[in-house]
């Protein structure tokens, strides 16, 4: 076999591999699009379940806050979509609380959502009480 024939054979083998890889990439891209669509339909149709972690009051800000973990939203979902799910399905359910922040937690394997509402209550001990107590 001449060297030209060997080179042509290698080129055709490489072209076949490139075509095979391109087909695999197209298949994977379609599969991933379908998986993302399934997640979106699942979340949009069902809403996101939330589990309460804690709640409290911050006297510095005058805010009553609640912290939830959202475990059924995938961790690798784009933050824009996570925020859309929170806005559309969760915030209406926790009204009058408003969005404060959201983070992903490996410990809880879910998104940690913090919501808050104003609750301006002065809980400081009165000066008169302090004077009597410390005399």
Q: Are residues 41 and 63 in the same domain?
A: no
Query: Is the pLDDT at 135 greater than 80, yes or no?
Result: no
* Whether residue 64 is found in the same domain as residue 35: no
pLDDT tens-digit readout, 3-28: 888 888 899 999 999 999 999 998 88
Residue 26 lies in domain: 1-46
Tens of pLDDT, residue by residue over 22-81, are 999 988 888 787 777 766 666 665 556 788 899 999 888 889 999 999 988 888 888 888
One domain for residues 111 and 84:
yes
CATH code, domain carrying 107: 3.30.200
What's the domain count of the chain? 2
Q: What is the mean pLDDT of residues 78-102?
A: 90
> Looking at residue 56, what is its pLDDT?
94
pLDDT recorded at residue 72: 81
- Tell me the C-alpha to C-alpha distance, in Å, between residue 37 and each of 33, 34, 41, 135: 6, 5, 6, 69
For residues 109 and 84, membership in a common domain is answered with yes
> How much is the pLDDT for 75?
81
On whether residue 130 sits in a domain, the answer given is no
Of 86, 80, 110, 111, nearest to 99 by C-alpha is 86
Residue at 125 is within a domain: no
36 and 55, same structural domain? no
| DSSP-assigned letter for residue 15 | H
Residue 85: band (very low, low, confident or very high) from pLDDT cuts 50, 70, 90: confident
Instruction: For residues 54 and 112, state if they share a domain.
Output: yes
pLDDT tens per residue, range 100-117: 999 999 999 899 999 999
pLDDT at 45: 58
Round to whole Å and give the CA distance between 74 and 104.
10
Specify if 123 maps to a domain. no
The predicted structure's pLDDT at residue 42: 62
Distance in angstroms (rounded) separating the CA atoms of residues 12 and 77: 40
């Amino acid at each position: 076999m001449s060297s030209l024939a060997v080179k042509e054979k290698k080129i055709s083998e490489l072209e076949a591999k490139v075509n095979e890889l391109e087909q695999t990439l197209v298949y994977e891209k379609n599969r991933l699009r379908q998986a993302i669509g399934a997640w979106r339909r699942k979340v949009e149709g069902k809403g996101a379940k939330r589990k309460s972690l804690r709640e409290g009051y911050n006297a510095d800000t005058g805010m009553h806050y609640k912290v939830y973990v959202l475990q059924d939203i995938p961790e690798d979902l784009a933050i824009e979509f996570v925020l859309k799910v929170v806005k559309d399905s969760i915030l209406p359910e926790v009204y009058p609380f408003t969005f404060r922040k959201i983070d992903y937690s490996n410990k809880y394997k879910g998104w940690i959502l913090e919501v808050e509402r104003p609750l301006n209550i002065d809980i400081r001990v009165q000066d008169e009480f302090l004077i009597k107590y410390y005399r």
